[in-house]
Structure 1
């Protein structure tokens, strides 16, 4: 599903194998993403016979090169090269990038707000102290060059850093065969709404659904999953009530408006717990140990086997 907001989680699936030191698996992810995206948007990018001829030439030369030198993982390299070639050829032959402008860029430019309607996240708390999305958060002066990093990009960089931490925790949990690997997979979906600006209230629904994997990890994390689900439902109900604004629902709207800050704190706390479980390491005494076949506990009631 190539929805702009969901693609914020996409780097996680590249960082996951990369931090496991499986560079070829990471390359497979990039090549697959490039090839699939190119296939979908090729009708807009390759609009002339010249463009298709150029792509055929690139594909032919790349295929001959892979076959001639018998490159390992040749299909991966071929898919990546052809996928990238579609975008490059489209840019030089007058291809249309309207799909990018309308589908991905328009929303970020049309809604320059820290949050949309009712949202329990960090940007909603930042708006309470008077900050806005396009405020300059960090200014860097390098000689005659002035670099201003807006709050929007600061939150994005913070989120990307959190994704890298989640991928690192996931790699460690996989190595240790820790069930909290499920939490590491769910955490990016929760962090997306918790940290990023311009989020709608409904985007927590994906995090609430994915966080259901906590039922297979622990009771404590399962309770947090239900809290997140309640918060997601509350935000959606709040927006639905605002859309109708019936006389009978005005008191409920006021209550939900006043608890928004408290809801944001609760959601951020829940996400912090998930992130902590993604990054934390079990104390050795609490780690699961394999029981060797035939080994008996010193407190076992069964008679000890006689020595030969």
Structure 2
């Protein structure tokens, strides 16, 4: 009995059709791979441009509105980003309506004080959490973490009652006390100190250095980048804070810049250009601060200050 054999179809040149399958062509595979990489890069840049537009777009719109002349439309269609008649008169109107320099000075005092206290007290508490051993340390650290997730509005009334009982309401000190140290500052400094090698402090112990000497002379100089991060965060938060100063302060002479600028909404309700100029005057100092200290900020991130 003869067995039937199945032969592969052979082309005219004698080669098998499976050998010439398109997937086996290396040039086609490379072109396909390059196409996929190009598509992925295009999607990545499209996502970055979308995020950039969402984050920077409102700022550019406010800046454009603050520079628009009276003939430029604010809410016209299509939207007009570049003003045809740019002017700085709206910034002059802000300074004539509210004492911007006084309010900015009050905000600067509060923000600088809060940045300094967060660096000092946050460093001390963070070092104790990372390097010192005592009973209940984990519970204390958990309490610090809990303060990060508790909304400030839920404790606003109790904070005000405490400040009033101390007799410091309607003062800049009353604004600074609740912001003197935050759980985030303690967390950042604790992680920074925990990342330091223990061998350095062990050598200092053998040399007779005490706890305070190790903290001040060895640990603190090693986490300068993280201290810059804590200072920037604390300064920005205190400068931008609106609700707490609005509740505590009643004397217009003690108003911070964010509270004082609110008067523009009532005086110039129909002129969004002046309101936009006031918001720009409150935002620009923060931008100058960050761009001048950004190298310290990124160095602090590199130290592992924001790692768990």
**TM-score under structure 1 length normalisation:** 0.21
Structure (1 or 2) with the larger CA radius of gyration = 2
Structure with bigger RCO (C-alpha 8 Å, 6+ apart): 2
**TM-score under structure 2 length normalisation:** 0.21
| Higher normalized strand content (fraction of residues) | 1
